[in-house]
Amino acid sequence: MQSWTEIAAQISHSTGTPFTIQTASSLGGGCINQAYRIEGNGQRFFVKLNNPECLSMFEAEAAGLQEIRNSRSLRAPAPICWSGNTSVAWLVLEYVEMRAGTGEGVRALGEGLAIMHRVSSGEFGWTCNNTIGATPQINAPSSNWIDFWRKHRLGYQLQLAKANGYSGRIQTQGERLMGELDCFFPDGQPDVSLLHGDLWSGNYNFDETGQPVIFDPAVYYGDRETDIAMTELFGGFPGSFYAAYRCAYPLDAGYATRKTLYNLYHILNHLNLFGRGYLSQAEQMMGRLLAEIR
| Residue 176 CA: distances (Å) to CA of 188, 258, 268, 293 | 20, 16, 16, 11
| Alpha carbon distance 190, 123 (integer Å) | 11
**Annotation says 198 is catalytic:** yes
Strands 89-94 and 79-84: antiparallel
Strand (E) or helix (H) holding 173 = helix 169-179
Q: Which of 116-137 are b and which e, b meaning 16 or more Cβ less than 10 Å from the residue's Cβ?
A: bbebebeebbbeebbbbbeeeb
List Cβ neighbours of 270 (8 Å cut-off, separation of 6 or more).
Answer: 133, 278
Type and span of the H or E element at 213: strand 212-214
Cross-strand bridge partners of residue 26: 36
Write down the catalytic residue from 191, 198, 223, 227: 198
Residues 6+ apart with CB under 8 A from 138: 129, 152, 156
Indicate which residues carry an active-site annotation: 198
